[in-house]
Structure 1
Amino acid sequence: MYKYNIDIEMVRKLDEKCVEIRKNLVNFIYRIGMGHLGGELSLVEMAVALYYKYMNYDPKNPKWEERDRLILSKGHCSETLYTIFSDLGMYTMDYMVEHFETLDTAEFGMHCNRKYVPAIEASAGSLGHGLPIALGMALGARKQKKNWRTFVIVGDGEMDEGTNWEAIMAAAHYQLGNLVAIVDKNKIQMTGTTANTMNLDPLDKKLEAFGWDVIEIDGNDMYSVCEALQSLPPADPYVRRKPIFIISNTIKGKGVDFMEGNIKWHGGGIAKEQLEQALNCIEKNRKVR
């Protein structure tokens, strides 16, 4: 089943971190009163693997010039990143709640803003812009002869946007091997399933036809996520190769039974009794390897 020899103890530690992040995330959404928990929960494994293992990144110096860049194009799920930033010691949870979408001291918003949060690489709001920005960053790294890599996470509903396909075509043209796009393919967008709204499949064949290398994984299985990220070639600015697209098949609301696959949890708040139920689900669904 698995192609690479991954350190299982590392995977266990990352699994445990996912449990911690999920619990902190639902508490955060409860405290601020609004979020997009379905999509925020589905991308936890990928975000945790990147920030805690596979990105060259220093949380004490988020503007370090040699860092790998991560753009969250599905920016309505920014609370997942905020929760990780808090866990990495960049902000306290109380501070983020205090400064979340306030009239006078707002630093943190439902959609991330790079002007106020230094760890954010690109502001998000309107969908379809993260991948084009990541394309520009990857080209910039080549021009500067820098070895850092650009990652971008897009939503599967977001793939309806034409700007993504323009960037997909351009990245293949420029052979940006230092660019890795990740689609959080949880199969549900705001108004329904992606299959009924605008069917993406066969997504792998479409991306390959546009000139990308494609890796398809179970994005809620940490071992599979680690395999995909560990398989990436070095981000050498001199080498021209196909850009890489990871199709990360996930479950919307992953880890919370009553949210999983439920369109109701695309956006909204969480009540006190639901919070307790959600925390119990996350604990019950703790991965045992």
Structure 2
Amino acid sequence: MTYSEPVGITAFGCGRDEAARFRELAPRFGVTLTITESAVSEETAHLASGNRCISVGHKTRITPATLRALSRVGVSYISTRSIGYDHIDVDYAGRIDISVGNVCYSPDSVADYTVMMLLMAVRHAKSTVRRADVHDYRLHDVRGKELRDLTVGVVGTGRIGTAVMERLRAFGCRILAYGNRAGESGDPGDEVSLDELLRSSDVVTLHAPLNAETHHLLDRERIQRMKPGAFVVNTGRGALIDTTALVAALEDGRLGGVALDVVEGEEGVFYTDRRNAPIDSKPLLRLQEMPNAFISPHTAYYTDRALSDTVENSITNCLEFESRNQHA
């Protein structure tokens, strides 16, 4: 790609490692960078002045007010360093002529983490580790399960869901798949309806994007259709599950356990130190009390390989946007 003038990009919400990777890649792509640790907001939008393209993280919600502030300083394109962009009001952005793009990164980071969480759930790892931490080395009251004896239902068969199925195949379990891409690219799962998947699966793992159709995909009614004692794993988006219904199903023994890397209402809690600060989310607090609910703070993507992919693809997105506009 060649340009009549250098392409400028403002990268918001950059941690130290992200900033270092941006600086490392900038000379290769011939871009000029403004890098800030500050999240994008109405107050920080001025940092994008002079740059039509910005790169943002997924940790901060980008509201219409923020989008208007960005538009006023000349921003025309937002590249989010994430696969999902439910933290951005994409429809409103389009109405004020700001385009939004996401990135692709290796699905292996989330797929590896998903399988780890799945194994921890069916082997009661949370209770075992908690007991060992206080020098209680008794075995769990209930024996764990082996994956070869289980049916695992994968909801969402894009790149990450497919990578999860590829890993699960090595364990010898039966795999069911539900999603828009089920059956493509040699997916190793049997394609079924969502209802059949919920009725037949010992473990359900969620990898669908979050949108109006998938919000509360697992609601109270669908959770009641699941096999008694089944497990739920979610490394997608928290709002794929009705958390109140999930807590109720764990409390009454309907579900055997959950492993959640994302939780509905995590915004403002995950990625912060709340040891000495109150947490308003009662469902999250209740889940963390439960011995059969393993929670981690939206960290499945957090690998060095994924970092390199997201930063490079975010820069590439901006360059492709500028190229399209130069040739329009």
| TM-score of the alignment, normalized to the shorter chain, above 0.5 | no
Normalising by the smaller structure, the TM-score range is 0.3 to 0.5
User: Which protein is richer in helix relative to its size?
Assistant: 1
Question: Rg larger in 1 or in 2?
Answer: 2
